[in-house]
Structure 1
Amino acid sequence: MRENRHIIREYEALRAVLTTGTTIGAARRLGISQPAISRALTQLENRLGRTLFLRISGRIEPTAEALSLNETLDPLFETLSKIDGAEWAHTENKPLSIAASTTIAHCFLLPRLATFLKQDSSRRIQFETQPTEQIVAGVLEFRYDLGLTSAMIQQSGVKLIPWRKSKMVCVMPEGHCLANRDTITTQDLDGVSTVDFVRRLGGRSLTEQIFNRSGVRPNIIVEAATNIAAVELARAGIGVTVLNPFPQLTEPQRGLVILPFESDIEYRTSFVLSADRPPSTQTRNFMRHIKFTTPEDQFSEAI
């Protein structure tokens, strides 16, 4: 029978490769040779009877089995780090770096950051509010462990994990001429004063596509850069706005009428992760916390 210390070394090699993304990086992390890393992975695969990594054009890609095994090993290595202060575990003591879009940050995330921190006094977080393109860039460059956005992203190198979906709504001040409708259609907004988004934002391209298909021309009074600004301008009576209700409109809104907007567009609010680096235990814990503390509302639902 093989000694347990040899099995632990195989698990250490697995986690080091998943963390660094290469066998060279794993070897440097553990202070052993690259062949020793490759040998440990091969021994682990043979012992488990599972393919844990795919070797493709000189690169090593983890399989779903490798990621699942890594999660299963978390309690083992947390215990070992408490016993002998394993150096690899020090990365878990680094602040969790998070970036979120403005609306998610100010209308949803901050109270949940607070409750997450209160659960464990040893936790540390670095938090930034950024536009989606900066969130993606930061995740790609490993400056952020996690991003949160409702934007529709198609970017290689990042992985989106949706946890909430919602449909477009039309927001208007109380007493507006359309406030007695059950649903708002594109035709209802022809010539109507509206608050739209600046052209650099994805929300503007969505509304333009919808209105162009219908031959509708709303009267755009203001172009806003955030959902928060658009809703407040609608509340002030400047015009109606069409947008994603999650998370800003999940609570009762004074002075506003919020109606479904007839559209086939579905928003997905997602976690943004690196496709090349598995999330840390702390990152996964935070994602679970967000999912479990997101209340039900009339405009969105869990995925």
Structure 2
Amino acid sequence: MENEEDGGRSSRPSVRELEVLHAVITTRKTTAAAQRLGVSQPAVSRAIGALEARLGRDLFVRDGGRLVPTADAFALDAEAAPIFAALARLSNWPNTPSVGTLLRIFSTPTIAHTFLAPMVTRFLQVEPDTRIQMEIGRSDDAVGSVADGTTDLGVLDVKAAHLGVRAEPFRQSVAHVLMPSDHPLAEKETIRPTDIGDSPMIAVTRRFSARARLERAFAEEGIEPRTVLESGTVQFLLEMVRAGVGIAVINPFPIAYVAGSGLVFRPFEPMIEYETSFVFPAVGGNLPVARRFVDFVRAEQMNLVPAA
């Protein structure tokens, strides 16, 4: 016999309540969740209220007009994920042929194009039955997608400060100055802001935290960098340096793997540190195929020889 409480009502969440929970976690608004589920906004609010009362825990906190999931909400949603995956398979069975395991990855443009692309190619050769869905975009979007459970694995070079994700460090690096091999500064072993002076510089846009750290390093030595061009990707900076537009202080990982001839990297001082990490859902999201891919990348990376 089932254990019951609250006047005979089962203490176990219903599938519908779990569906509502996932919709609100994904959309952050009850109105948007209602539209997704095809129900009224009050019905969504009632379902969340009933679920919180059933569990005796708060699942969301309000932040302006948005609902921010608590750690309990993410944990419950992660526990429910296999249930919905099984239901989805059952809804198509037995008419849908097996098409292998799906791995959903989200990364930023530079990491995706210069580092992950060859890794994915080789991984699919090793695991031909695996399907990979690759999303490319901003770090914030990647973190949110992993936290929401719509992505299995993120690969990012920024700190993922989100309760819904867990970061596993992969690669540490320090800032280097990228310049043409015939640039006068190329003769130096290390380069400081005073060495750069008013030389034309190329930098990432200010939406990147690395830009603020770089400008702070220059300010501490009383130098105002002469930035002539800004870009949203390091790949574009690389090509502008190659064209002679200016020099750039960047994270050499992973762009150093594809820099090619005619360019050199020199360490920048004071030291600016970077960390690239694999990002997983905080609870219950470490799929076996995601772990295999991470282990594969770690092993393959040991065989690569960067320019810096």
Same-fold call, TM cutoff 0.5:
yes
2:149 maps to which residue? 142
1:142 CA displacement: 0.9
1:94 CA displacement: 4.5
What TM-score do the two structures reach when normalised by structure 1?
Answer: 0.67
**1:221 maps onto 2:228 in alignment:** yes
Secondary structure, aligned partner of 1:293? helix
1:178 maps to which residue? 185
What TM-score do the two structures reach when normalised by structure 2?
Answer: 0.66
The equivalent position to 1:256 in structure 2, one of 259, 263, 267, is: 263
Secondary structure, aligned partner of 1:136? helix
Cα distance in 1 for partners of 2:236, 2:124 equals 29
1:40 maps to which residue? none
C-alpha spacing 1:241/1:182, structure 2 compared with 1 (3 Å): same
- For residues 75-128 of structure 1, what are the alpha-carbon distances to aligned partners after superposition, in whole Å with 9 as ceiling and x for unaligned? xxxxxxxxxxxxxxx999551110111111111111111111111222111111
Q: Is the 8 A contact 1:196 1:241 kept in 2?
A: yes
Q: Is the 8 A contact 2:202 2:247 kept in 1?
A: yes
Kindly provide the amino acid, as one letter, of the partner of residue 168 in structure 2: I
Matched-pair identity in %? 30
Q: Is the 8 A contact 1:168 1:263 kept in 2?
A: no
Cα distance in 2 for partners of 1:197, 1:169 equals 14
The equivalent position to 1:233 in structure 2, one of 240, 262, 267, is: 240
Question: For residues 29-178 of structure 1, what are the structure 2 equivalents within 5 Å?
Answer: 59=72, 93-178=100-185
1:234 CA displacement: 0.8
Q: Is the 8 A contact 2:177 2:250 kept in 1?
A: yes
1:267 CA displacement: 0.9
Cα distance in 2 for partners of 1:281, 1:101 equals 23
Unaligned runs of 5+ in 2: 1-11, 19-54, 59-71, 76-96
Cα distance in 2 for partners of 1:222, 1:109 equals 27
1:10 maps to which residue? none
Cα distance in 2 for partners of 1:288, 1:143 equals 22
Cα distance in 2 for partners of 1:293, 1:182 equals 29
Q: Is the 8 A contact 2:108 2:155 kept in 1?
A: yes
Cα distance in 2 for partners of 1:227, 1:157 equals 28
Secondary structure, aligned partner of 1:148? strand
Unaligned runs of 5+ in 1: 1-22, 30-54, 63-89
Kindly provide the amino acid, as one letter, of the partner of residue 234 in structure 1: V
C-alpha spacing 1:278/1:153, structure 2 compared with 1 (3 Å): closer
Q: Is the 8 A contact 2:114 2:258 kept in 1?
A: no
